[in-house]
Amino acid sequence: MCRPTAVRSPRSRASCKGGALHPIQAAFKEEHGLQCGFCTPGMMLVGSALLEDNPSPTDDEVRWAISGNICRCTGYMNIVKAIQAAGSAMAEQQAAESVPAAAS
Residues making contact with ligand FES (CB under 6 A):
34-40, 71-74
Q: Which is nearer to ligand FES, 38 or 64 (CB)?
A: 38
Burial of 83 from C-beta contacts in 10 A (0-12 / 13-18 / 19+): buried
Q: Which is nearer to ligand FES, 49 or 73 (CB)?
A: 73
The minimum distance between CB 76 and ligand FES, in angstroms, equals 9
Residue 33, number of CB atoms within 10 A of its CB: 27
- Residue 45: how many CA atoms within 13 Å on its side-chain side? 10
Q: Cα Rg for the chain, rounded, in angstroms?
A: 14
The minimum distance between CB 28 and ligand FES, in angstroms, equals 10
DSSP 8-state secondary structure symbol assigned to residue 59 = H
The minimum distance between CB 78 and ligand FES, in angstroms, equals 9
The minimum distance between CB 39 and ligand FES, in angstroms, equals 3
d(CA 42, CA 46): 6
Q: Which is nearer to ligand FES, 40 or 84 (CB)?
A: 40
Q: Which is nearer to ligand FES, 70 or 92 (CB)?
A: 70
